[in-house]
Structure 1
């Protein structure tokens, strides 16, 4: 487990980015780049897409279906890695992703577009999860936080490329070309993977049956919220939420009885270290997703920005995420705990600011946009500060024998939270007037309610983050006591 060529003393960035480690880092980072660039391209061009082929009621479904399929890809990634090895798994994932991208580029209507996004999501989920899962396989544990920060930091690269591609093509009136431009990028990374990734799975994992029942319940819960989110009728929204609640309860029960699990033991109990970690990760992901989907639309309608500018401004959250990840990756001791708690606090400050600032229509001048930009960066920065350490602790506290499951669970949990956040965001926006009455008034009201309601996610995140820190401190104290007893 891990790359044993790296001396234990070499734990800095130089150890990660030089020699064999450097080439492997580039390959793993590439998987996330593909996934993330697509996210920002799609987010940026969606306003243009619905103007051309219609389907604004299904606006949020573009993200929900993409992420729901990514959950399946994430859960299947461990099996794919065992069956095909790192090189084969990566190439297969890239091919699936390219197929979905091709469908999106040719889509004549929103249903076809959604089908393409579904296939894209499956391939993206493979790529996303494989990139994280291989960190544990090819690097020493001392390098995990920096490797996590590097891979997570690729969202920052996507913030530079994705909105530019999407925005330029949207302004030229050829949004389909944004999808076409992705296919050569996919081919390049597939060739890189073929050249640098090992053919065989170095961890020698065993193939286990898929937790099909849990996967079906997980996906159904997301789709239930999504189905309810399309309607502006509150009663239908409540039915969708109730169905999702029932399906989630069934999922929890199925996991507790299952021989083959979707998540490691203790994942659904907030009293455990894993449960607290997953809860904090989910709440941070929900806070980002809820705003990120609709920010380009709000900026174009309420603050009269071009598609290109709106796409870049929306990507400020991801840029903040990258900065936070890199800044906190070298933290140790109590600094890690402070970074974890700072995450939801910064997220809360940003959400409250957007609740006040975003609904107020402006002429698009920087005097009005600057505070919005600061709020967007604050939300992403908070997630970035906490994220590498939350993920590293998932690896560290996973029950013995469930490390592979823990690797896949990172993306499963993140993507589930993202899909649920997207579906709930669509529900809140539609009920608050995005489609009826629509226009300036409806969009302003939708933005106010959206950011106001989702500010509760980081509020809860503060409490779960504090629990993460307390449980870790207790575990360390217990370990120290046992060590001292052994010495005596």
Structure 2
């Protein structure tokens, strides 16, 4: 059995998860209005995010100990089941339950796919595979809005949820065929105590991130409370030294969080700034974001063909993110031509396209057998929570400064420059020999002993 069917199945599943992530964000205002649950609007997103953090932590350990197949197919079932529940929901409360199940399933899928890549594909092919994954995430952002708009207007919002399970069954059959005969049965790590505690810390982390989300509109006590919760809980889920950018895997996880946080915090404000401050139409503002999506995909393609070294990808990509955000920040001033917004976001997209998949490749390269799930989980949790913190903090700055777009881009620029500073620490410095305990140094009592050095 060749790997072509497996690759096609993996890309199909990633594309569907990415499409639904984007589609729900677009359709949710219509959903909340129809179901009469505008007061629960935010919970539809924060609930899915909370489930995602828990699923990522659980799925990583599950895949290491039992192999990736069980969490993968459980994730597919949860993803499909959650979407079906949401699509048929008679009330906002039921829809939120479906979103929770969908988020949990999608997280299991995401971390299991990393372990599949690690165990099936030789290391030399990892750049190409993660390039395909990156493209599978980017393409829905370009074609998805039009599809979601047509489906919502003609068939109704429920089919935004219900059409994906149908497509997922087809993609799952391709994936099932590709998985046949692959070396995926059984785990590569011994069971270790402490998993319930780790999942509990994931739940606490999700609560902290949710508090920050709700506090981003100017409710400072919630913002501070969320940040305090994350300061205690998040380090338990990350490699030791992540917050100090220790060389190796900790710096990889830290750079992923900083790059994603800077990019998404800025991206949230780009269309709003271009429409409200510079008078562009929604279509014209959308073209700016589309340019970034195209260069993200192109840069991922370059990474997949190893045109540059990993260090060049990280340094050049981090510098491009910082430069693009700086240029976009300049557009907030009326003396600067608004046309600069287009090349600005093209540069930013190119930067994230180089950095993002390179860090995925490095995570597997720096992981010994039996550590791929745990380390991939840390990478994805760090990215998700750093992004939530970045968007929440910049949102609060925006409100405090009175529609202070410049404050948002300035804060995002600081994060991007911090990423550029730690990029040299993220390159692989030797053979994978394990990554040490997956907790921050100084977190007393957080480390959990394991025969395989897993937390």
State the TM bucket, normalised to the shorter chain.
0.7 to 0.9
Q: Matched residues in 1 for 2:94 and 2:288: separation?
A: 29
Residue of structure 2 in register with 1:415 after alignment: 384
Equivalent pair of 1:63/1:422 in contact (CA under 8 Å): no
Alignment map for 1:210-289 (pairs within 5 Å): 211-231=195-215, 234=218, 236-252=219-235, 255=236, 262-264=237-239, 266-289=241-264
What's the counterpart of residue 366 of structure 2? 397
Q: Which residue of 22, 36, 39 corresponds with 2:21?
A: 39
What does 1:217-366 align with in structure 2 at a 5 Å threshold? Answer: 217-231=201-215, 234=218, 236-252=219-235, 255=236, 262-264=237-239, 266-293=241-268, 305=281, 314=289, 316-331=291-306, 335-357=309-331
Within 1, Cα distance between the matches of 2:187 and 2:408?
Answer: 46
Paired residues for 1:84-95 under 5 Å: 86-95=68-77
User: How does the TM-score come out when normalised to structure 2?
Assistant: 0.79
Q: Confirm or deny: 8 A CA contact 1:68 1:419 kept in the other structure.
A: no
How far apart are 1:426 and its partner, in Å?
A: 5.0
Deviates more, 1:378-387 or 1:456-465: 378-387
Tell me the CA shift for residue 394 of structure 1: 2.2
8 Å CA contact 2:13–2:172 kept in 1: the answer is no
Contact 2:329–2:410 (Cα < 8 Å) also in 1: yes
| 1:237 Cα deviation from its structure 2 partner | 2.2
Residue pair 1:82, 1:204 contacting (<8 A) in 2 also: yes
Matched, 1:463 2:421: yes
Q: Distance in 1 between matches of 2:82 and 2:275?
A: 27
Aligned counterpart in structure 2 of residue 179 of structure 1, from 156, 161, 168: 161
**2:343 equivalent in structure 1:** 374
Instruction: State TM-score, norm by structure 1.
Output: 0.74
Distance 1:52 1:378 in 2: 39
Structure 1: segments with no counterpart, 5+ residues: 1-18, 256-261, 361-366, 434-444, 477-488
The SS at the match of 1:174 is coil
Decide which of 128, 133, 139 is 1:151's aligned counterpart.
133
Distance 2:83 2:333 in 1: 34
Give the match for residue 485 of structure 1. none
* Residue deviations 1:264-321 (CA, integer Å, cap 9, x gap): 5554542232221111110111123224456566667665645x88667545544332
Aligned partner of 1:453 among 387, 391, 411: 411
CA deviation after TM superposition for structure 1 residue 457, in Å:
1.4
- Contact preservation (8 Å) 2:257, 2:382: yes
The structural deviation recorded for 1:341 is 0.9
Shift of 1:122: 1.0
CA distance in 1, matches of 2:333, 2:44: 24
CA gap 1:218/1:76 in 2 versus in 1, 3 angstroms:
closer
Match of residue 3 from structure 1? none
Q: CA deviation at 1:410?
A: 2.9
Q: Secondary structure at the match of 1:455?
A: helix
Q: Which runs of 5+ in 2 are unaligned?
A: 432-455
Q: Whole-Å Cα distance in 2 between the matches of residues 430 and 44 of structure 1?
A: 23
Q: Which moved more, 1:454-463 or 1:78-87?
A: 78-87
RMSD of aligned alpha carbons: 3.8
CA 1:69 to 1:243, structure 2 compared with 1: closer, same or farther past 3 Å? same
The aligned length equals 428
Indicate if the aligned counterparts of 2:321 and 2:416 stay in contact, CA closer than 8 A.
yes
